[in-house]
Structure 1
Amino acid sequence: MYNFSPTIEQEELLAKARKIMEEDVYPAEKHIIPGVGLPNEILKPLQQKVKDQNLWAAHLPKSIGGLGLGNVFLGLLNEILGSSVLGPRVFGTAAPDTGNTEILLKAGTPEQIEKYLKPVIADEIRSCFAMTERDVSGADPTGIQTTAVRDGNEWVINGEKWFISNAGLAQFAIVMAVTNPDAAPHERATMFLVDMGTPGFEMIRDIGTMGDFSEGGHWEIKFNNCRIPKENILGKEGEGFKLAQMRLGPGRITHAMRWLGVMNRSFDLMLDYALKRKTRGKPLADFQTIQNFIADSAAEISACRLMTLHAAWMMDEGGDARKEIALIKFYGAKILNDVISRAIQVHGSLGYSKDTPLEGFYREARAAHIYDGPDEVHRVVVAKRYLKEYKNRNSDVLV
């Protein structure tokens, strides 16, 4: 019923991606500048190599410069790219640009596509997505307090946003603001395109976080009577929540796809060290506890992989994969943290040091339990959908 195998053409592309990651991307990790990423003199040649191999911006359709090969292929590719924090950036699939390009492609006007979408795809400019607010639950975007009021040919935005990733490197933001507070909760908000540097757009601070590999930081920003042209509305008035969900669904499964890469690399490091490190006269691999670490990790990674590819397959088939995406979002986050933790334990003090990528993986992985909806919310979503499906399937029995 399910077939997750790549075609011959796709396998050739995946092989090219693996080669670039192993020969170029992993060695470049030592040049990462925390909060900035790779210097352009290193990054740009790598990106050009990816473009020359026809691997650039794989998440987008061919009509706009992507590959258009479906979500299962994206899962297989992101599994490779996710093995390094640099992978998505080098291959033109880095967040938050990926989600923003998808929104612009579906809701942008021809003028917005020319001004914002095409330059982002070409990596000439960067973007950020401003929805989350400090005093409002991030898991419930219907409660946002930032407002946008129409004043003649302009919109006037007021409010504060919190934890806006990549704002430090972005040239524009997609901002979600309430335009009709009296409408139904899911129809109150609208999205807008706001250029950085617009009067009234204040960058308050880059919030320090546990990890240090995120480009552009995570910013607190403020809008003080920030005026933008009426043409900068993205989509229709009241469509903000709809567009946000359209963006966040694929984003969640993309995270799960990339986590597989981190799991696999951590697992390989665990195997390698267990075989070569000796204690009490024999390799660590000979001890049952280490063998349990290996067996448990192998089983859990396999489960995550199948769950992720199944959700991707459902999306390709046009099905409703929200339950499956929610399921892999919280389960994948747990396994990601568990596998990295075991790998560190096997390495001992070396794993705790910065001499391997594991300590960086570990600090970055903690956020997986929180971003794009905390685990607890996704568990509720999964449980409610299973209960609803069961009631519908057994309605006669339950009466």
Structure 2
Amino acid sequence: MIDFEPTAEQQELKARVESFVRDKVIPFESDPRRTAHGPTDDLRDELVALAKAEGLLSPHVSEGWGGMGAGHMTKAVMFEASGYSMLGPITMNIAAPDEGNMHLLDEVATEAQKERYLKPLAAGEARSVFLMTEPSPGAGSDPGAMLTEARPDGNGWTISGRKWLITGAEGAKIGIVMARTFDEAGEDIGASMFMTPLPAEGLRVSRVLDTMDSSFTGGHAEVELDGLKVDGDAVLGEVGKGFRYAQVRLAPARLTHCMRWLGAAQRAHDIACGYARERESFGTKLIDHEGVGFMLADNEMDIHMSRLAVWHCAWVLDQGERGGRESSMAKVICSEALYRVADRCLQVLGGMGMTRDTEVERIFRELRGFRIYDGPSEVHRWSLAKQIKRR
């Protein structure tokens, strides 16, 4: 029998994060530096300093590189607690894309690359980007459609192409670029990943996109790669194994998204419950109307089942398994269930829910995006269906 009950140590860490977010982070939610394209770097730096002072910075990174070496189950309880404010993950340096990039570097990078790139990331001194997604007809849900190319150039490579929906590109200091790789004979030898410091000649942010979400520092950008040159030691891992490394990054990253958004959904639910207990309509409290009470009951069930999906996947990953199938299931379960939670919360709040007097309106918008990034629900269902066919 699998025991998902958090240990005493995990419960203590969860309580620490909950207290920290409530007392230190939530007061920043009305800060004007929280813009339509995410918190500014100035606000991020101030928040990161708070987490560093509390000893809660980068818990997912191995201890040798400045983190706590937290396993997936420990991350599950800490990341959910951080997500109770959408500024929490940024504060603790566990927001996308940096969290996934740090995990990838921890697993794949050379010691020299870790010193140059992982160390400042773990310390919260730099932000990073993962440049994989491309505008049509390039790579989106189908990474095999990648059009960005890397070709040999002396002892290094020259990279050309276009990327878009690149989270955090504006102001990032470190980039991981994914490109189809060609050898000297012009033969396609598979996708590879390349490290580059930013800014860099040959890499330009052409525009920052206006999107419905607003929780990622640097927003989401379109990036032009026009003759970006990198040295031979810039290759992350081995040449031609980029898709394999993408799975090293993406499976855990899907799960950590679920962890963080669980906290946000719980916040929206708590706000809606508080409102329903106080607001009167037709002579009685809102919560006593079955239409409202049933919505809140459905919220409890969706949050509970989402948490179990996260914990089960975290347990699988902690056993050393790849967890791709489990993370796909968790991503679909959580993104759709937690969006239902936010939708119901907005409905319970009525006109109040449409305003920014509470966090619910923002959480609703953010959770809608969660159903698309890191693979839309339909792509994960298709992948699972193919696995069912093979069995």
TM-score (norm 2): 0.94
How far does residue 308 in structure 1 lie from its aligned partner after superposition? 0.9
Moved more, 58-67 or 245-254: 58-67
Please list, as runs of the form range in 1=range in 2, the aligned pairs for 1:10-49 lying within 5 A after superposition.
10-31=10-31, 32-37=34-39, 40=42, 43-44=44-45, 46-49=47-50
Instruction: Find the residue that maps to 1:188 and give its secondary structure.
Output: strand
Q: Which residue does 1:157 correspond to in 2? A: 159
Give the aligned residue type for 2:251.
G
Residues in 2 aligned to 1:85 and 1:179: alpha-carbon distance in whole angstroms: 38
How far does residue 39 in structure 1 lie from its aligned partner after superposition? 6.1
Give the aligned residue type for 1:21.
V
Q: Which residue does 1:62 correspond to in 2? A: 63
Which whole-Å deviations, capped at 9, do the CAs of 1:230-253 have from their partners, x for residues lacking one? 221111100111111110110000
TM-score (norm 1): 0.92
Instruction: Find the residue that maps to 1:161 and give its secondary structure.
Output: strand
Which whole-Å deviations, capped at 9, do the CAs of 1:326-345 have from their partners, x for residues lacking one? 11111211111111111111
Tell whether the 8 Å contact from 2:202 to 2:226 is kept in structure 1 after alignment: yes
Which whole-Å deviations, capped at 9, do the CAs of 1:23-70 have from their partners, x for residues lacking one? 111111111233241563x65454344334332211122222222231
How far does residue 295 in structure 1 lie from its aligned partner after superposition? 1.3
Q: Which residue does 1:148 correspond to in 2? A: 150
Instruction: Find the residue that maps to 1:157 and give its secondary structure.
Output: strand
Instruction: Find the residue that maps to 2:182 and give its secondary structure.
Output: coil
Q: Which residue does 1:395 correspond to in 2? A: none
Residues in 1 aligned to 2:316 and 2:369: alpha-carbon distance in whole angstroms: 27
Which whole-Å deviations, capped at 9, do the CAs of 1:201-250 have from their partners, x for residues lacking one? 12210111112232101111111122222221111100111111110110
Q: Which residue does 1:73 correspond to in 2? A: 74
Give the aligned residue type for 2:76.
G
Instruction: Find the residue that maps to 1:202 and give its secondary structure.
Output: strand
How far does residue 183 in structure 1 lie from its aligned partner after superposition? 11
How far does residue 7 in structure 1 lie from its aligned partner after superposition? 2.3
How far does residue 320 in structure 1 lie from its aligned partner after superposition? 4.1
How far does residue 4 in structure 1 lie from its aligned partner after superposition? 2.0
Root mean square deviation of aligned Cα: 1.9
Which whole-Å deviations, capped at 9, do the CAs of 1:291-315 have from their partners, x for residues lacking one? 1101111111111111110011011
Please list, as runs of the form range in 1=range in 2, the aligned pairs for 1:194-209 lying within 5 A after superposition.
194-209=196-211
Quickly say closer, same or farther: Cα 1:375–1:285, change in 2 above 3 A.
same
Which whole-Å deviations, capped at 9, do the CAs of 1:335-381 have from their partners, x for residues lacking one? 11111111111111100011011111111111111101111011122
Residues in 2 aligned to 1:39 and 1:231: alpha-carbon distance in whole angstroms: 29
Tell whether the 8 Å contact from 1:253 to 1:328 is kept in structure 2 after alignment: yes
Residues in 1 aligned to 2:46 and 2:218: alpha-carbon distance in whole angstroms: 20
Which runs of 5 or more residues in structure 2 are unaligned?
A: none
> Would you say how many aligned residue pairs link Structure 1 and Structure 2?
387
Quickly say closer, same or farther: Cα 1:287–1:368, change in 2 above 3 A.
same
Quickly say closer, same or farther: Cα 1:46–1:158, change in 2 above 3 A.
closer
Residues in 2 aligned to 1:183 and 1:383: alpha-carbon distance in whole angstroms: 36
Instruction: Find the residue that maps to 2:177 and give its secondary structure.
Output: strand
Tell whether the 8 Å contact from 1:13 to 1:55 is kept in structure 2 after alignment: no
Residues in 2 aligned to 1:12 and 1:38: alpha-carbon distance in whole angstroms: 31
Residues in 1 aligned to 2:105 and 2:153: alpha-carbon distance in whole angstroms: 24
Tell whether the 8 Å contact from 2:203 to 2:224 is kept in structure 1 after alignment: yes
Please list, as runs of the form range in 1=range in 2, the aligned pairs for 1:68-107 lying within 5 A after superposition.
68-107=69-108
Which whole-Å deviations, capped at 9, do the CAs of 1:70-122 have from their partners, x for residues lacking one? 11111111111112111111112121111111222222222221211101111
How far does residue 270 in structure 1 lie from its aligned partner after superposition? 1.4
Q: Which residue does 2:365 correspond to in 1? A: 363
Q: Which residue does 1:374 correspond to in 2? A: 376
Give the aligned residue type for 2:115.
E
Q: Which residue does 2:7 correspond to in 1? A: 7
Give the aligned residue type for 1:171.
K
Residues in 2 aligned to 1:336 and 1:184: alpha-carbon distance in whole angstroms: 45
Residues in 2 aligned to 1:218 and 1:117: alpha-carbon distance in whole angstroms: 22
Residues in 2 aligned to 1:232 and 1:69: alpha-carbon distance in whole angstroms: 28
Q: Which residue does 1:278 correspond to in 2? A: 280
Instruction: Find the residue that maps to 2:39 and give its secondary structure.
Output: coil
Whether 1:131 aligns to 2:132 is: yes
